[in-house]
Amino acid sequence: MNTQDIKKAGLKVTLPRMKILEILERSEEHHHTAEDVYKALLEAGEEIGL
């Protein structure tokens, strides 16, 4: 998925959305909860609001 796909979905392309997308794309067959994604962002040193 790229920025054009995000725009086509009617969403603004933001850095937090791109970071979340990166985490979800990196995971192969693992389903992430919102908490999993949040913890992964914190571990990577990313500041993100809920």
Digit-by-digit pLDDT tens for the chain (50 residues) are: 788 888 999 989 988 889 988 888 888 777 888 999 999 899 989 888 77
- Answer whether residue 31 is part of any domain: yes
- Answer whether residue 50 is part of any domain: no
- pTM more than 0.75: no
Nearest to 38 by CA among 21, 20, 17: 20
Sign of the Cα torsion 26, 29, 34, 40 reads negative
- Specify the pLDDT at position 5: 87
- Answer whether residue 49 is part of any domain: no
Number of compact structural domains in the chain: 1
- Answer whether residue 34 is part of any domain: yes
- Specify the pLDDT at position 12: 92
Residue 18, domain extent: 3-43
Nearest to 23 by CA among 6, 3, 41, 4: 41
| Cβ atoms of 43 and 21 closer than 8 Å | no
Query: Which CATH number belongs to the domain containing residue 16 in this structure?
Result: 1.10.10.10
- Specify the pLDDT at position 42: 92
- Answer whether residue 48 is part of any domain: no
Query: Which DSSP state fits 45?
Result: T
